[in-house]
Amino acid sequence: MVVAGDVFDHHHPSADATRVVYHGLQGLAEAGLEVLVIAGNHDNPRRWDAVRPLLGAHRVHVVPSFRLPDEGGRLVLRGDDGTECEFHALPWIPQRDLVNGDVLMSLLGRAHQQYAHRMEQLIGQISVQPEDRERPQVLVAHLFYAGSAIGGGERTLTAGVTYQVPTAGIPDLLGYAALGHLHRAQRVPGAAPDTYYSGSPLQLDFSEAGQDKSVYLVELEAGVRPRVEALPLDAGRPLLEIAGTIDELAELRKGAGEAWVSVRLRCRRAEPGLADQVREVVPDAVRVVLEPQHTTAPRQRVSVRGLAPREQFARYLQESDGLEPHAALLDRFDELLNEVDAKEPDGAPA
Amino acid sequence: MTLCLYGSAARLGRGSVKPLISPAADEMLLRLEFELGDQTYRASRRIRHAGQTRARLERVTSEGDETLADGPSDVNRRVRALLRLDYEAFCRTVLLPQGEFEEFLVGDRHKRREIMNELLRLERYGSVAELARRRQGNAKNRLQNAEALVGEYADATPDARRAAEELVRKQEARASALEKMEREARERVAGADAARGRADALAHMGADLLGHADAAQQLAARHERLRPDHERTERELRDAGKSTAAARAGRERAEAERDRVEREVGDTLAHQDIERAMREASTAEDDIERLTPQHAEAEGTLSKRRTALEEAGRIESEASRQHLDARTASEAAAGAARDASRGREQAKARDDAQRALSGLADQIEATGASLDDAERALAAAEANLAAIGERMRELEHRDHALAVRFTLAEGSGCPVCEQTVTTVPPMPDGLFEARVELEARQEAAEASEVVRRHERDEVQGRLERLDGRREEKRAQLDRLGDAPDLPAAAVAVRDAKRTVKEASGREERAVHRLAGARGAREQADGDVQSAGHELSKLADQIADAKRRAKGAGRVLLAHLGDPLPDDAETALEQRRTLLAAAEQAASSATAAERDAADAERAAREAHDANQAKHTALAGDLRGLVAALRTLYPLVCEQLAGDGLTPPAEPDCPDVPWRLGNDFVAALRDRASVAREAATTFADRAEADLDEVARMRGEVGIEAPKGRTESEQIADALDDAREQRARARADQDQLRRRLQAREAHEVQRVEAEAEHAAWRALAEPLQGSGFIDFVIAEVLDGLCDIASARLREISGDRYSLQAEELNFRVIDHFNADQVRDASTLSGGERFLASLALALALAESVRTAGGGLPAELDAVFIDEGFSSLDAESLDVTLSALETLAQRELMVGVISHVDSVPERISDGFEVVVEHNRSRVRAR
């Protein structure tokens, strides 16, 4: 069982969350599986590292941070039938670990390039050192490949230009690349060999409402293309989005089942207590977002902030009188303002 | 960082920063290097327990460091100018201090207004409004002045000008008519005067001619009377001449006789002279013999006295040289005495300085002890103030919670936790009083702290002053280091005084000697002179005797060869008697001659008188003839000029004998002709004057006494001219006033426009309408930015809205429900404040005219402990997002999970009595 990162949602998970994960891992191990876990960007590598020996004793192999192949970055796991498979682990690497400080401080474009470039090099390096070429080689990585589809619940920064890695970097030697990070289950287009994101087991964000969640079952054989089958998952509460007026909601809600609901309410305008009314009809409404029908076009506000004082004054006169002020009047305003400014002591705050 | 840049730190509020110094250390050193644009700067500060704070700001370049400011206040000012932020603004935008940056979100709305005022420099508009009001006032003054000026010329209208022109025309007509009349009158009067003049001249001529006729008659009569006298006088003159010649011959004979006798007498006299001369010569030779030896003796005396004089002179010069030496020695001694006494003074000064120094050391010690006391008292007061501050904050928290409680009602939803309220908890008593009491205590504590601070500063100042004086004394001692001992100096002074006295004694003696020698020399000089006089007197006497001898010799020589008579005396007597008789005879002959000459002279005089009368008569006649000859042409001319026929000239004889009656009659005839012509002219003159009188009557003016007719006409003319001139002058002045009025009118219009323009500017700026408008708009803009940020970091849940200086939060996940910002939970509040602070930082960059300093860094001091794990995660992700947007984000936190997420940074390790910083 390969878990390609993001086991927990953030660095300090609660005791309940920890219990779920450890019991889950234990269950997998007791079912006879060898479990490989790498750390993702949401995980706390030091906590994983602290518990790694204990888990390792129970057939749960954790790679919390980047290791060279001979120092724990490459694992060989044996299946029930005795076949061995080599796994090259590439946990999440933060930008500052790959990009020099001065490059970071300079143009951002260079930082992105350097990160992408070095990631390519790393991938290339670690995966051309197989211990035994007879074994199937698998890359397990937590990263963001350019061109993949974002599920919607990812942290924008980590699924953007800063961290994207070009797909051309995966060497042919590998049989399969098991990727974590993106929530949508997908095959990465334009990448060879077979490169898959397994996606999240649950719908985590309303943008994933309606997405089918699955886990990939992969058969590997050295020298042969793997067979990949998607097994659907339907545990947990799905997410549902409905939209309509408050009267239509009751109807729309039918068939929601256990789903957490996000309501887009069409109404004339915002009123206090509207959310409570909606929750009376839809008790599982996690959020109620308004879609007012008669949206007055947002007041085209030219920010006065950016205007020169002369223009600010002109706007003020226009608002109070309704008339366009004369240029001569504004000239006088400028003249007096210059006189006042000329007397300013040094160092007045801007 | 703020301590280094601005000398203030948030933790200390307004207090002194010295408590931050480690207790065991004397001072603390701070140094901060920062980049601004492409320049690197270094700010450093040294703060001591005792003594002044030193500070410096430098620009770091490859060629070396350039000092930009020195001293705390200079550095503060320069930093403010560089960053364009003062401490307050810095703490709102760059460094967000613990617990304080939420103030902008949920704090007092008046404070928010102040902050906005500061950031946007809105007080400038107040100044602008003031200036506009002043300009309006000035313009109003100018308008009033212009109106007053226009009023001054109210009388200058076009109608008035037309009336003035009409008047001028009338006066001109009158004046020219009178001019014509006056000219004519003048001509007539002049003509009348000329005619009268002619008449008078002619009348005079007639009278003259009559006079001449009478004179001619008288001349003829005189001539007759003179003729017989003339012959008699000629005869008498001839006789007198003959007598005179005879008398002259007799006189000449008598004089010849007398001369002969005189010659004889002269010969006798010559012999007496010779005898006298011989006697003279022998006397003179005796004298010479006697005087010559006396002269030689006098010469000897003179040369002896000269020798004595030389000797006396030498003694005198010797005495003078000795006197000079003695005086020089005396002056040298005086100089030495002055030096010795100066040395003694310096020794005294040095002893005094040493005493003063030891006194100061004691004082400094005592003052140091006072300073310690004062510092302790100050620390106690500050601690008290801090404690009270803490209590205040507690109270405020409680107040806030109570404020929320106010909004609760049974059965409604709690705005904070969104649960239904079953029972409303009661309000505790005594809160208000407690708060009031605490505020009073705070005031008192603040006052006491200020007092203690002053005291401490005072003691410190005193200490510094004492230090300074000690330094002075030390420096003085250095300068006097090589002064001599006091006793040695006193001895030197005494010796010097003794030397002075000796030298002055010697000098006196020398003066005496010199005076004596000088007296002796003068005496010798006198002797020499008297000897000289004696010698020359003798020489003169000898010369005189020689001269007498020579004279006598000359007389004898002259008479050499003359025979000597037997008896010279008798012969002389005889001859003198004869001489007397001859003289008598000569003198009587002379008398006779004189008488005869007198008679001749008398006869000549009579003859001459007669001749003169004759000549006079002839002259009179010639004169008469000449006058007539002159007068006649004049008369003819006069008459011809007036068209009258002149009479012919009468015949006039050259000699008076020939004057006859015809001549006289002709003269009388011509005279009457002249008189008739005179009458004609006089009549003509009368006619002209009558005409002039008529003209004057026409003019119709009253005749003042003493003025002639034509003068009166001239007066009338003058009057008319005067009136004409006045009318013209009035017209000119009116024209000028009209012009001036128009010019002032133009100015008044301008002033009116100016006043209206300034009022149009000043009125809208009255009050705070414009400032409120700007603040409201800026706040709206700020909220736009902050909302965008907040949506980013709250997962699109919240956005901000500004309403009358208060912030409201819109919950998009709850149908856009609007809540007051103070109802947010700790984590939500942190995020909202952060979004607002970042929006502020961005506004500082562009509001109020643009800011060249780019802010690339934000520091957040604590605040994370109020966040739960979920919110902390969201917050740190938000900060990571920020870090990608050209900002360096610095975070200060004691919460463990923060450094786990952020690997770059420093760690502060606390040891027993100090903290250390190391890089992680």
Residue B759: exposure state from Cβ atoms within 10 A (0-12, 13-18, ≥19): middle
Alpha carbons B792 and B796: distance in angstroms, whole number: 6
- Interface contact A12-B877, CB threshold 8 A: no
Which residues make beta-bridge pairs with B919? B906
Query: Does the pLDDT of residue B166 top 90, yes or no?
Result: yes
Give whichever of B66-70, B286-290, B768-772 has the largest mean pLDDT: B66-70
Local confidence band at A25 (pLDDT 50, 70, 90 cut-offs): very high
Is the pLDDT higher at B109 or at A199? A199
- Interface contact A274-B815, CB threshold 8 A: yes
**Proportion of chain A above pLDDT 70, given as a percent:** 85
SS3 category, B794: coil
Other Cβ atoms within 10 Å of B379 Cβ, number: 17
Q: What is the mean pLDDT of residues B487-500?
A: 88
Instruction: Supply the pLDDT for residue A140.
Output: 92
Per-residue pLDDT tens for B566-617? 565 666 677 777 778 878 887 887 888 888 788 888 888 887 887 787 777 7
Instruction: Supply the pLDDT for residue B251.
Output: 80
Question: Least CA distance to B89: which residue of chain A?
Answer: A349
Lowest mean pLDDT among A54-63, A333-342, B98-107, B705-714: B98-107
Instruction: Supply the pLDDT for residue B853.
Output: 45
Encode burial over A59-77: b for 16+ CB neighbours within 10 A, e otherwise: bbbbbbbbbebeebbbbeb
Q: Chain A within 8 Å of B758 (Cβ-Cβ)?
A: yes
Instruction: Supply the pLDDT for residue B392.
Output: 85
Best probe of the B interface among A42, A98, A274, A316, by most B CBs < 10 A, is: A316
Residues B815, A270 contacting (CB under 8 angstroms):
yes
Residues B68, B73, B74, CA angle at the centre, nearest 5°? Answer: 20
Q: Chain A within 8 Å of B136 (Cβ-Cβ)?
A: no
Mean pLDDT, chain A, integer: 82
Query: Does the pLDDT of residue B886 top 70, yes or no?
Result: no
- Give contacts of B 447-476 with A, CB under 8 A: none
Instruction: Supply the pLDDT for residue B704.
Output: 64
Query: B-chain residues within 8 Å CB-CB of A349?
Result: 80, 84-86, 88-89, 118-119, 121
Q: What's A273's DSSP letter?
A: T
Instruction: Supply the pLDDT for residue A104.
Output: 64
A319 to B14, B239, B774, B801: CA distances (angstroms): 43, 159, 12, 21
Query: Does the pLDDT of residue B168 top 80, yes or no?
Result: yes
Q: What is the mean pLDDT of residues A145-168?
A: 74
Alpha carbons B698 and B693: distance in angstroms, whole number: 9
Q: Which of B365, B385, B367 is CA-nearest to residue B452? A: B385
Q: Which of B848, B769, B753, B772 is CA-nearest to residue A328? A: B753
Instruction: Supply the pLDDT for residue A296.
Output: 56
SS3 category, B23: coil
Q: What is the mean pLDDT of residues B756-761?
A: 90
Residues A159, A134 contacting (CB under 8 angstroms):
no
Question: Least CA distance to A279: which residue of chain B?
Answer: B814
Q: Which of B252, B443, B467 is CA-nearest to residue B371? A: B467
The closest CB to that of B131, out of A12, A44, A336, belongs to A336
Residues A195, A173 contacting (CB under 8 angstroms):
no
Instruction: Supply the pLDDT for residue B92.
Output: 65
- Give contacts of B 615-674 with A, CB under 8 A: none
- Which residues in B623-758 belong to E strands, given as ranges? none
**CA of residue B734 relative to chain centroid, distance:** 44
- Interface contact A332-B761, CB threshold 8 A: yes
Q: What's B895's DSSP letter?
A: -
How do strand B27-36 and strand B39-48 relate by DSSP bridges?
antiparallel
Question: Least CA distance to B129: which residue of chain A?
Answer: A336
Local confidence band at B32 (pLDDT 50, 70, 90 cut-offs): very high
SS3 category, B42: strand
Local confidence band at A157 (pLDDT 50, 70, 90 cut-offs): low
Q: What is the mean pLDDT of residues B160-168?
A: 90
Query: Does the pLDDT of residue B77 top 60, yes or no?
Result: yes
* pTM as predicted: 0.49
Alpha carbons B800 and B790: distance in angstroms, whole number: 8
Query: A-chain residues within 8 Å CB-CB of B903?
Result: 94, 96
Other Cβ atoms within 10 Å of B317 Cβ, number: 12
The predicted complex's ipTM stands at: 0.75
Lowest mean pLDDT among B231-235, B538-542, B895-899: B231-235
Q: Chain A within 8 Å of B84 (Cβ-Cβ)?
A: yes
Report H helices in B847-918: 869-883, 897-901
Per-residue pLDDT tens for A177-204? 899 999 999 888 776 668 899 999 988 8
Query: Does the pLDDT of residue B652 top 90, yes or no?
Result: no
Instruction: Supply the pLDDT for residue B656.
Output: 45
Q: What are phi and psi of B622, to 5 degrees?
A: -60, -40
Query: Does the pLDDT of residue B250 top 90, yes or no?
Result: no
Per-residue pLDDT tens for A295-315? 555 555 555 556 678 888 888
Local confidence band at B804 (pLDDT 50, 70, 90 cut-offs): confident
- Interface contact A350-B782, CB threshold 8 A: no
Per-residue pLDDT tens for B712-747? 888 888 888 999 999 999 999 999 999 999 899 999
DSSP element (H, E) containing A44:
none
Report H helices in B419-485: 431-479
Alpha carbons B426 and B444: distance in angstroms, whole number: 33
Per-residue pLDDT tens for B841-883? 666 654 444 443 456 777 888 778 877 777 788 788 777 777 7
Sheet-wide strand order for B888-892: B95-96, B857-861, B888-892
Local confidence band at A222 (pLDDT 50, 70, 90 cut-offs): confident
Please state whether the peptide bond connecting residue A193 to the residue before it is cis, i.e. omega within 30 degrees of 0: yes
Is the pLDDT higher at B752 or at B197? B752
Residue whose pair of structure tokens reads 């008679």 in the numeric block: B599
Local confidence band at A26 (pLDDT 50, 70, 90 cut-offs): very high
Q: Give the tokens for residue B725.
A: 């001139």
Question: Least CA distance to A162: which residue of chain B?
Answer: B884
A126 to A67, A86, A308: CA distances (angstroms): 10, 12, 59
Q: Chain A within 8 Å of B124 (Cβ-Cβ)?
A: yes
Q: Give the tokens for residue B709.
A: 């007719």
- Interface contact B847-A328, CB threshold 8 A: no
Query: Does the pLDDT of residue A4 top 60, yes or no?
Result: yes
**Proportion of chain B above pLDDT 90, given as a percent:** 17
Alpha carbons B199 and B282: distance in angstroms, whole number: 110
Alpha carbons B433 and B49: distance in angstroms, whole number: 40
DSSP element (H, E) containing A302:
none
Query: A-chain residues within 8 Å CB-CB of B814?
Result: 275, 287-288
Local confidence band at A89 (pLDDT 50, 70, 90 cut-offs): very high
Mean pLDDT, chain B, integer: 81
Query: Does the pLDDT of residue B665 top 80, yes or no?
Result: no
- Interface contact A303-B770, CB threshold 8 A: no
- Interface contact A305-B881, CB threshold 8 A: no
Size of chain A, expressed as the number of residues it contains:
350
Alpha carbons A145 and A286: distance in angstroms, whole number: 32
Local confidence band at B461 (pLDDT 50, 70, 90 cut-offs): very high
Best probe of the A interface among B75, B86, B119, B124, by most A CBs < 10 A, is: B124
Instruction: Supply the pLDDT for residue B377.
Output: 92
Question: Least CA distance to B123: which residue of chain A?
Answer: A340
Q: What are phi and psi of B68, to 5 degrees?
A: -100, -30
Other Cβ atoms within 10 Å of B355 Cβ, number: 10
Lowest mean pLDDT among B130-144, B350-364, B424-438: B424-438
Residues A103, A110 contacting (CB under 8 angstroms):
yes
- Interface contact B897-A333, CB threshold 8 A: no
**Proportion of chain B above pLDDT 70, given as a percent:** 86
Local confidence band at A40 (pLDDT 50, 70, 90 cut-offs): very high
Query: B-chain residues within 8 Å CB-CB of A303?
Result: 777-778, 780-781, 784
Alpha carbons A48 and A44: distance in angstroms, whole number: 7
Q: What is the mean pLDDT of residues B544-557?
A: 82
Q: Give the tokens for residue B363.
A: 């004082």
Query: B-chain residues within 8 Å CB-CB of A153?
Result: none
Instruction: Supply the pLDDT for residue B464.
Output: 92
SS3 category, B559: coil
Query: Does the pLDDT of residue B224 top 80, yes or no?
Result: no
Residues B42, B31 contacting (CB under 8 angstroms):
yes
Instruction: Supply the pLDDT for residue A21.
Output: 95
Query: B-chain residues within 8 Å CB-CB of A108?
Result: 884, 886
- Interface contact A312-B777, CB threshold 8 A: yes
Best probe of the B interface among A204, A281, A340, A343, by most B CBs < 10 A, is: A340
Tell me the shortest Cα–Cα distance from B740 to chain A, in angstroms.
30
Residues B882, B841 contacting (CB under 8 angstroms):
no
- Give contacts of B 50-79 with A, CB under 8 A: 77-78
Question: Least CA distance to A104: which residue of chain B?
Answer: B884
Instruction: List Cβ<8 Å contacts ≥24 apart for B510-518.
Output: B510/B319, B510/B322, B510/B323, B510/B325, B510/B326, B510/B327, B511/B323, B513/B319, B513/B322, B513/B323, B514/B316, B514/B319, B514/B320, B514/B322, B514/B323, B516/B319, B517/B312, B517/B315, B517/B316, B517/B318, B517/B319, B518/B316, B518/B319
- What's at B190, amino acid-wise? A
Local confidence band at B98 (pLDDT 50, 70, 90 cut-offs): low
Query: B-chain residues within 8 Å CB-CB of A322?
Result: none
* HEC letters along B729-752: HHHHHHHHHHHHHHHHHHHHHHHH
Best probe of the B interface among A6, A8, A12, by most B CBs < 10 A, is: A12
Query: Does the pLDDT of residue B642 top 70, yes or no?
Result: no
- Interface contact B128-A303, CB threshold 8 A: no
- Interface contact A46-B900, CB threshold 8 A: yes
Instruction: Supply the pLDDT for residue B573.
Output: 75
- Interface contact A340-B781, CB threshold 8 A: no
Instruction: Supply the pLDDT for residue A251.
Output: 83
- Interface contact B884-A348, CB threshold 8 A: no
Q: Chain A within 8 Å of B906 (Cβ-Cβ)?
A: no
Is the pLDDT higher at B501 or at B850? B501
- Interface contact A348-B119, CB threshold 8 A: no
